[in-house]
Amino acid sequence: MTKVTSEHYLPVQKLAQEYGYSDTFEFLEAECQDSVMPACCTHGCEVEPDGTCEHGCPSPLLLLGFI
């Protein structure tokens, strides 16, 4: 797993809830369909599945170690 040190970090479960999902894996399945996805960031950044945003927050897939 990736260690996040950014003050803008948003946990994956909380990110999923903000997008209206009660289950983290449903969120990942739905949001992984495009070339970008929400970053684990409080600013609402979008990133490539293997990327990090300008605030240093990774994609959920990268954070969870799936990539």
What pLDDT is recorded for position 2? 55
What pLDDT is recorded for position 32? 85
| Dist. CA 67–CA 64, nearest whole Å | 8
Residue-level length of the chain: 67
Query: CA geometry: angle at 64 spanning 60 and 38, to 5°?
Result: 0
What pLDDT is recorded for position 7? 84
Segments making up each domain of the chain, as ranges: 12-63
pLDDT (tens digit per residue) in 2-49: 566 678 899 999 999 999 999 999 999 998 888 999 999 999 999 999
